[in-house]
Amino acid sequence: MKKWIDAARLRTLPLSLSGIFLGTLLAIKENKFDWIIFLLACLTTLFLQILSNYANDYGDGIKGTDDTRKGEKRAVASGEITAHAMKNAVKLTAVLSILSAIGLLVYAYIPDYWEWFLVYIGLGAASVWAAINYTVGENAYGYRAMGDIFVFIFFGIVAVFGTYMLYTKSFNPLILYPASAIGLLSMAVLNLNNMRDLLQDKHAGKKTIPIIIGFLYAKNYHGFLLFTPFVLGVMYVLNQEITHLFNYLFLILLIPAIALMWRVGITHEYEKLDSELKKTALLTLFFAIFFGLGFLIPHWI
């Protein structure tokens, strides 16, 4: 059992929940909340993240990409789990993800919102496809430098905007600001991962943004990914009809964000970036929580 838990890479789960938490907090700001929607959304997201991690382990394992991996070892590449067993695990978690998503959508949208139900069914199918095809298959998009785009869409826009609409049943374009912020911070986690694995990915024929633009420019790109979310957050606040000083609570996190930029900037050995992955994921989680609480605290005091 331990090898399966390790392969699920539990340290990635807080990052995947960041968008759900922020979408929920923004809905609470509009006096909309439902515990069942919240729990099912979290469950579906966790299944999708574990599916992605298993599929990533399987895809990279059979391609040989993980043979010289720095950081945590992968199950298929190390031989702890066979490729056949991991493939079956991918199928099982895909089914669990689909069942959980259908349960969530039926509860949230049936019988009054059939049009949104159908839209979300499409998004759910796309999420399962994206979770699997990051590294699996001949046309895996993670090997074509497209991982950043998909992370932005699914960890940011779909997670935050999608969760918000599950509660409110309404379209608010301003939510694109915080949704994009979470998407960019999630991209920062992926960029760190790709910077750390630059040499082995290049050897395996995998194309990532750091490989295309080089290690130095990847650091500059990383700074952009960490700083821009704070600009987007301020833009969201400024577009509110009524603002409060607490709405800017998330700006406190500029301090650890700048510290992260500095540490990455002075790092010259790829493998030493591994220690920054957890910190960046936690920054994303706390950004989501602080941003949402910044709008709720004024109502509590």
Tokens 């010289």, located at residue: 68
User: What is the per-residue pLDDT for 291?
Assistant: 98
Q: What would the mean pLDDT of 55-62 be, rounded to a whole number? A: 87
Q: What's the CA gap between 212 and 201, in Å, rounded?
A: 11
User: What is the per-residue pLDDT for 72?
Assistant: 65
Delimit the domains of the chain by residue range.
2-296
Please answer whether residues 257 and 230 qualify as being in contact, where contact means their C-beta atoms are separated by less than 8 angstroms. yes
Given a cut of 90, whether residue 149 has pLDDT beyond it is yes
The tokens describing 199, both together, are 């040499």
User: What is the per-residue pLDDT for 10?
Assistant: 85
Q: What's the CA gap between 41 and 35, in Å, rounded?
A: 10
Mean model confidence pLDDT for the chain: 93
In order, the DSSP letters of the chain are -HHHHHHHTGGGHHHHHHHHHHHHHHHHHTT---HHHHHHHHHHHHHHHHHHHHHHHHHHHHHTTTTT--SS--HHHHTSS-HHHHHHHHHHHHHHHHHHHHHHHHHHHTTT-HHHHHHHHHHHHHHHHHHHHTTSSTT-GGGBT-HHHHHIIIIIIIIIIHHHHHHH-S--GGGHHHHHHHHHHHHHHHHHHHHHTHHHHHHTT-B-HHHHH-HHHHHHHHHHHHHHHHHHHHHHHHTSSS--GGGGGGGGGHHHHHHHHHHHHH--SGGGGHHHHHHHHHHHHHHHHHHHHHHHHHHH-
User: What is the per-residue pLDDT for 41?
Assistant: 98
Q: What is the pLDDT of residues 151-189, one digit of tens each?
A: 999 999 999 999 999 999 999 999 999 999 999 999 999
Q: What is the pLDDT of residues 68-77, one digit of tens each?
A: 555 566 778 8
Given a cut of 80, whether residue 65 has pLDDT beyond it is no
Given a cut of 80, whether residue 110 has pLDDT beyond it is yes
Task: Compare 73 and 208 and report the one with higher pLDDT.
Answer: 208
User: What is the per-residue pLDDT for 66?
Assistant: 58
User: What is the per-residue pLDDT for 76?
Assistant: 85
Q: What would the mean pLDDT of 37-60 be, rounded to a whole number? A: 94
User: What is the per-residue pLDDT for 300?
Assistant: 86
Which of 226-229's residues contact partners 24+ apart within 8 Å by CB, and which partners?
226/184, 226/185, 226/188, 226/257, 226/260, 226/261, 226/280, 226/283, 227/257, 227/261, 228/181, 228/184, 229/180, 229/181, 229/182, 229/184, 229/185, 229/287
Q: What is the pLDDT of residues 218-262, one digit of tens each?
A: 999 999 999 999 999 999 999 999 899 999 999 999 999 999 999
Query: Among 159, 161, 178, 162, which residue's Cα sits nearest to residue 234?
Result: 178
The tokens describing 114, both together, are 């059939």
Task: Compare 175 and 205 and report the one with higher pLDDT.
Answer: 175
User: What is the per-residue pLDDT for 23?
Assistant: 98
Confidence of residue 299 (pLDDT cuts 50, 70, 90): confident
User: What is the per-residue pLDDT for 70?
Assistant: 55
Q: What would the mean pLDDT of 188-206 be, rounded to a whole number? A: 92
Q: What is the pTM of this model?
A: 0.94
Please answer whether residues 54 and 195 qualify as being in contact, where contact means their C-beta atoms are separated by less than 8 angstroms. no
In order, the DSSP letters of 4-27 are HHHHHTGGGHHHHHHHHHHHHHHH
Confidence of residue 80 (pLDDT cuts 50, 70, 90): confident
Confidence of residue 8 (pLDDT cuts 50, 70, 90): confident
User: What is the per-residue pLDDT for 169?
Assistant: 96
Query: Among 186, 192, 176, 222, which residue's Cα sits nearest to residue 17?
Result: 186
